[in-house]
Amino acid sequence: MSYKGISLICQMLDELLSETYTLKMRLIELGIVLSPPGCVHNNKLKQLQYDFQEIAVHCGYKKDAPLFEHAAYIYQFIIPMYFQIDNLKDLKICSSNVHSYMSHYFSK
């Protein structure tokens, strides 16, 4: 993989972390009890997994699952639509859509 490809993946992960931070804050505003957004893991993928797992459990998801399954459950919890997430690109697209949707209801 080229340097440019790695750079794009790092940028995508940074954007996902930022959108996940915003999602957690918005869910906290709605009354869902979550820990404040923060950095528990140095690895960005592990941090995403940690955040999505915490959100999913507090939204009623009962089983331990991979990152993409947790994310699909959370996004479906927020927007009553089915999300098929198979890779990081799908996750980024869904995250951006949910972020945009929620931005209509929350002021910055």
Which letter, b or e, does each residue of 19-47 get, where b requires 16 or more Cβ atoms within 10 Å of its Cβ?
Answer: bbbbbbebbeeeeeebeebeeeeeebeeb
Q: Is residue 79 part of a domain?
A: yes
pLDDT in tens, 42-76: 999 999 999 999 999 999 998 889 999 999 999 99
pLDDT at position 91 over 60:
yes
d(CA 74, CA 1): 31
What's the structural domain count of the chain?
Answer: 1
The verdict on residue 76 lying in a domain is: yes
Element (H, E) at 85: none
CA angle 55, 59, 60 (to 5 degrees): 125
Q: Could you tell me if residue 75 is inside a domain?
A: yes
Confidence grade of residue 29 (pLDDT, cut at 50, 70, 90):
very high
